[in-house]
């Protein structure tokens, strides 16, 4: 983040977001999250979303890193940083990019709990969050 920040000295604001594996405890503790990506389409999809985000918001920079494989509770899944001349653009672009990653980015998630493993897919709330942007064109 420090490197990203100093690389955008002309920015008035830098926003960063880290998504991590939530440590739900009772009654069936989450131990880790397994994330699988598609060998070609995950990356090209994220690159297209970065282009879309840059086109939609007045930002100077956008960094995205997303992990795959087995990620233990408390560890980082995703990191986003945006830089803009004015803070609002940086906040909005980060939020928009996260909504893409939650509902459209090509990943499959499997939760490892004490009782076994379960696939998890976006919740209705995630799709609703992503839909907001259609009304804010």
Partner 1 sequence: VGTITVTFWGRISDQFGKKQQIDLKELGSISDLRKTLGGDLLKPAFRAIVNGEFIANDAPITDGDEVEFMSPVGGG
Residues that bind partner 1 (CB under 8 A): 19, 35-36, 38, 40-41, 66, 77-78, 98, 101-109, 119, 121-122, 126
Which ranges of 25-70 does DSSP label H, i.e. alpha helix? 41-56
- The answer for residues whose C-beta is within 8 angstroms of residue 97's C-beta and 6 or more apart is 49, 50, 53, 62, 64, 80, 82
Q: Which is nearer to partner 1, 27 or 116 (CB)?
A: 116
At closest approach, how far in Å is the CB of 136 from partner 1? 20
At closest approach, how far in Å is the CB of 121 from partner 1? 5
At closest approach, how far in Å is the CB of 42 from partner 1? 8
For residues 43 and 79, the answer to whether their CB atoms sit within 8 Å is no
Q: Which is nearer to partner 1, 86 or 123 (CB)?
A: 123
Q: Which is nearer to partner 1, 31 or 104 (CB)?
A: 104
At closest approach, how far in Å is the CB of 88 from partner 1? 22
- The answer for residues whose C-beta is within 8 angstroms of residue 132's C-beta and 6 or more apart is 99
Q: For residue 2, with 0-12 CB atoms within 10 Å meaning exposed, 13-18 middle and 19 or more buried, which class applies?
A: exposed
């Amino acid at each position: 983040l420090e490197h990203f920040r100093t690389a955008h000295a002309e920015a008035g604001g830098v926003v960063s977001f880290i998504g991590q594996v939530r440590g739900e405890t009772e009654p069936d503790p989450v131990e880790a999250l397994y994330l699988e990506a598609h060998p070609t389409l995950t990356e090209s999809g994220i690159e297209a979303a970065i282009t879309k985000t840059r086109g939609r918001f007045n930002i100077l920079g956008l960094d995205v890193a997303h992990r795959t494989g087995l990620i233990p509770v408390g560890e980082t899944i995703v990191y986003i940083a945006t830089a803009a001349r004015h803070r609002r653009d940086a906040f909005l672009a980060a939020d928009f990019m996260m909504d893409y990653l939650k509902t459209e980015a090509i990943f499959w998630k499997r939760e490892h709990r004490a009782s076994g493993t379960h696939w998890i897919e976006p919740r209705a709330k995630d799709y609703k969050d992503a839909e907001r942007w259609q009304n804010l064109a």
